[in-house]
Amino acid sequence: MRRRDFVKAVLAASVSPKAMMGQNAPSAVAPSAPPPIHPKAAPLPAAGPVPWMRGLQEAKPLPMNALVPDAVARTNAHFFSDRQIATLRQLCEILLPPLKKSPGAIDAGTPEFLDFLISVSPPDVQQMYVSGLDRLDAEARRKFGLPFTAVNVSQADELIRPWLRTWMTDHPPSDPYEKFINVAHSDIRTATVNSKAWNDAMATDADRRSEEGLYWYPVDPDVTQIYQRRS
Amino acid sequence: MTDEVDVLIIGSGHSGGMAAKILTGKGISCLMLNAGPVADIGKDTELRQAYTLPFRGFKQPGRLPHVFQSNEFNANTWVDEKEVPYTVTPGNQYNWVRVRLFGGRSLFWSRQSFRLSDYEFKGKSHDGFGDDWPISLADLSPYYSRVEEIFRVEGSTYGLPQYPDGNFVADDRPWCGSMQRFRAAGEKLGIPVCKQRTSLGIDGLASSINLLLPDAFETGKLKAIPNVVVRELRVNPKTGRVHEAHFVDRLSRREMSVKARVVVLAAGTLESTRLLLNSKLANSSGVMGHYLIDQIYGAGIVCSVPEARDGKTTCELMEGAALVPRFRNLQNRSKNFIRGYALNVSSSTHPMDPRNFAAYGKDLEDKLDSYSGSGFHVGIMGEVLPHYEYQVSIDKSAVDAWNIPALHINTRYTDNEFNMARDAVDTSMELAHMAGFELLAKNYDPNPPGYSIHELGTCRMGNDPKTSVLNKWCQSHDIKNLFVVDGSSFVSAGWQNPTMTILSLAMRASEYLAEQMRQGNV
């Protein structure tokens, strides 16, 4: 063993167990006022086993139930224009209003959630929503001389119902506007039914409760590191 | 450290698991390499409400765009195409759906368990298209029987040549009422409606990790390394035999190699083919990568059984499933397609998908209430024809996270597949109408190629080394100590879920290999 290593080893071995666990021991000195280190004081001992790890292992779980943000907060819409988000809110109100004991899309924060979801979606999805909302508003102005936000239920029905289609998974209608109306309807339902508000209201209704499933955490999650190294 | 292993098995899914089980059972030492980690359900999963997830149960936008089966709950189980990319010919979408967890796709398969018939093994003899396999049902039947026993395949027997019977756990459950009506409609049209055939496995899991690998590890002859990605196989220039695999540690990227007496490739059709193409091996025929096939999924119908509506649904009426085996082009020829398709049929007491109704608001809620528990679904599983020009090759312009050149996939469906899908939907509607069901939704368009996760055929077997990559034992014509035991050996796809056939071929090939090793030929 080289001399320097030998000295380190002796120093490390000479530290008492109490000193090693010092971070956990009560101290007479306030943490905010550490004692000054004398310039000629002996060097600090070499690092031993990381003392706070033991404390972490022995710590009891906190008595907390973590909140999801939707329990107390609303999403800030930022992607759609003011007119587009207003159109989307009206569309949500029309397509999925509060019924019986179920909350409506507005209660579930669905327009704002979709603003977030579409803001991080691929460009073709963003384009479908933006042009679809613009066209819906334009159709309302052309047909009724009103923005979509101002049409009544009957007028909204005239604007929406002709475009509704039945469709099977992964095969929405191919016409862009028809696709927008039907996909947006499906997205509004999914975002609402899977919301905390819906879950709280419908938890005991087996046919209507929110989606629950087996969530897989990343298994050996190295992918992000790999991307970073490659980029 | 061992200088050389007896058999190196690359891949841990159904085919690799079967190879390990058979070879270790005969006392042969094996080393298994797998590209992904070992999953631990207890540690890696949790029951969650969708609202607690970052995207409320929507797929994370932009992630896994070609894995239609993915959702926010299971996204971390699939291979990310950003990590392992592939390229396609513009306009020809391909959904390459992969799992690299230990056990591979055997962890998640649908468990439908069918034998191929001689309408598939000897398809060319029947209709003149393509090529016959170098084996027949009679050759594979004993292996099917043993596989069916291991996987505990539940089924009924019918004596139909296009739906060969097997070694089944008897399915003696009565037909539910809606299926009885569908069967009666089938009888009028001469279309058989049969029981499904499904692997029961153990507690519903019929995977390599619970039915095959435990036996192999029990022998003490199997060792396994997870999280290593094989980059290349190398041949000893003196012997012409493959003798070494180069791999990279998935996490650290440390490059390593291991020597082996025999290599068994079981990485899945396209990964095995990619590895061989990157290694520039076993392709004197020039057909490696060609004849990519799979099966058509996605076309079908959704109906409602009127008598099950308005709270009147019961398990006796609505809890059922059926399988309509191929009925086209057996004796008579269809006018605009060859080969055939099967229909997957199911009914359930569950709520219905809102997309089945062109309605919204209270109107939609009322319909969902009324129609709940009345859903009846029919979907196609159709044969895709093999064509030389539909192929995979190496795209050197793209590499994966470990700098391994990516696969380029060039395939698309032809009129034969589209016409078949249209016939399946029209026939399904006719059957449903005769059964008294209300049609709610229909779709004629197949999902993109690859969606079925049944990619097959890119190292096809055959008797002629000039026109095939493997012989009838899944052994390379060119390199005698190289075997490919996954779905890449298929000559035709059939309509059947290929898992039972892959397992039976892997069992047969492994027993042949063991005997060849015993005789000193390999």
The 10s digit of each residue's pLDDT in B72-82 is 999 999 999 99
Q: Is the pLDDT of residue B412 over 90?
A: yes
| Residue B306 per-residue DSSP state | G
Residue type, A56: L
Strands (E), B159-299: 169-170, 198-199, 222-225, 228-235, 242-249, 255-265, 295-296
B73 vs A: CB within 8 A? yes
Domain count across chain B: 1
Whether the Cβ atoms of residue B144 and residue B286 lie closer than 8 Å to each other: no
- Look at residue A40 in the predicted model and tell me its pLDDT: 58
Q: Is the pLDDT of residue B434 over 70?
A: yes
- Look at residue B18 in the predicted model and tell me its pLDDT: 98
Contact at CB, B58 and A219, closer than 8 angstroms: no
What tens digit of pLDDT does each residue of A134-178 get? 999 999 999 999 999 999 999 999 999 999 999 999 999 999 999
> B479: which 2 tokens?
């390199």
Give the three-class secondary structure for A194: coil
Residues 48-107 of A with CB under 8 A from B: 68, 70, 94-97, 99-100, 102
CA distances B143 to B71, B166, B238, B502, Å, are: 36, 10, 36, 11
What interface predicted TM-score (ipTM) does this complex get? Answer: 0.94
Confidence of residue B478 (pLDDT cuts 50, 70, 90): very high
> A32: which 2 tokens?
């905010």
Q: In which element (H, E) is residue B398 found?
A: strand B391-399
Q: Give residue A110's Cα distance to chain centre.
A: 13
Decide if B479 is inside a domain. yes
What tens digit of pLDDT does each residue of B299-354 get? 999 999 999 999 999 999 999 999 999 999 999 999 999 999 999 999 999 999 99
Decide if B70 is inside a domain. no
Contact at CB, A167 and B302, closer than 8 angstroms: no
Q: How far apart are CA B303 and CA A28, in angstroms?
A: 77
A94: left (phi over 0), alpha (psi -120 to 50) or beta: alpha
> B34: which 2 tokens?
């797998």
* Average confidence (pLDDT) over A80-103: 96
Give the mean pLDDT of chain B: 97
CATH number at residue B292: 3.50.50.60
What tens digit of pLDDT does each residue of A17-52 get? 333 333 333 333 343 444 455 555 566 656 565 566
Identify which of A114, A132, A139 has the alpha carbon closest to the alpha carbon of residue A176.
A132
Q: Which residue of A has its CA nearest to B65?
A: A122
Q: How far is B19 from chain A (nearest CA, A)?
A: 26
Whether the Cβ atoms of residue B137 and residue B115 lie closer than 8 Å to each other: yes
pTM (2 d.p.):
0.91
Residues of A in contact with B65 (CB under 8 A): 122
Residues 391-410 of B with CB under 8 A from A: 401
Q: How far apart are CA A48 and CA A15, in angstroms?
A: 9
Decide if B51 is inside a domain. no
> B457: which 2 tokens?
């055929």
Angle between helix A123-144 and helix A153-160 axes, rounded to 10 deg:
130
> B350: which 2 tokens?
């569950």
Whether the Cβ atoms of residue B349 and residue B373 lie closer than 8 Å to each other: yes
Identify which of B419, B503, B499, B416 has the alpha carbon closest to the alpha carbon of residue B452.
B499
First and final C-alpha spacing in chain A: 43
CA distances A222 to B37, B83, B251, Å, are: 11, 10, 7
Contact at CB, B37 and A219, closer than 8 angstroms: yes
Decide if B151 is inside a domain. yes
Residue with more model confidence, B296 or A209: B296
Q: How far apart are CA A142 and CA B479, in angstroms?
A: 73
Q: How far apart are CA B141 and CA B135, in angstroms?
A: 11
* Average confidence (pLDDT) over A96-101: 92
When CB atoms are compared, the residue of B49, B354, B445 closest to A210 is: B49
Q: Best residue in B41, B355, B368, B369 to probe A by mutation, most A CBs within 10 Å?
A: B355
* Average confidence (pLDDT) over A200-206: 85
Confidence of residue A81 (pLDDT cuts 50, 70, 90): very high
Residues of B in contact with A105 (CB under 8 A): none
Share of chain B above pLDDT 90, in %: 99
Decide if B64 is inside a domain. no
B330 vs A: CB within 8 A? no
Q: How far is A17 from chain B (nearest CA, A)?
A: 34
A204 vs B: CB within 8 A? no
Q: HEC string of B328-346?
A: CCCCCCCCCCCCCEEEEEE
Q: Is the pLDDT of residue B427 over 80?
A: yes
Angle between helix A123-144 and helix A82-95 axes, rounded to 10 deg:
80
Q: How far apart are CA A4 and CA B87, in angstroms?
A: 57
A213 vs B: CB within 8 A? yes
Q: In which element (H, E) is residue B215 found?
A: helix B213-218
* Average confidence (pLDDT) over B417-431: 98
Q: Parallel, antiparallel, or unpaired: how do β-strands B438-443 and B300-304 relate?
A: antiparallel
Identify which of A204, A206, A193 has the alpha carbon closest to the alpha carbon of residue A99.
A193
| Residue B382 per-residue DSSP state | E
Contacts across the A-B interface (CB distance below 8 Å): 153
Which residue has tokens 């005239």? A158
First and final C-alpha spacing in chain B: 23
B360 vs A: CB within 8 A? yes
Domain limits, chain A? 69-202
Decide if B49 is inside a domain. no
Residue ranges making up the domain that contains B82:
5-41+77-518
Confidence of residue A211 (pLDDT cuts 50, 70, 90): confident
- Look at residue A50 in the predicted model and tell me its pLDDT: 59
Confidence of residue A205 (pLDDT cuts 50, 70, 90): confident
Decide if B302 is inside a domain. yes
CA distances B382 to A171, B40, B63, B133, B497, Å, are: 18, 35, 28, 19, 10
Q: How far apart are CA A220 and CA B34, in angstroms?
A: 14
Least confident of A199-203, B86-90, B216-220, B276-280: A199-203
When CB atoms are compared, the residue of A96, A213, A223 closest to B48 is: A213
Q: How far apart are CA B120 and CA B490, in angstroms?
A: 10
Decide if B66 is inside a domain. no
How many other C-beta atoms are found inside a 10 Å radius of the C-beta of residue B294? 27
Q: How far is B150 from chain A (nearest CA, A)?
A: 27
Q: How far apart are CA A21 and CA A36, in angstroms?
A: 21
Residues 122-181 of B with CB under 8 A from A: none
Share of chain B above pLDDT 70, in %: 99
Beta bridge partners of A215: B46
Identify which of A191, A65, A80, A166 has the alpha carbon closest to the alpha carbon of residue A130.
A80
**Rg (alpha carbons) of chain B, rounded to whole number:** 23
When CB atoms are compared, the residue of A165, A199, A227 closest to B51 is: A199
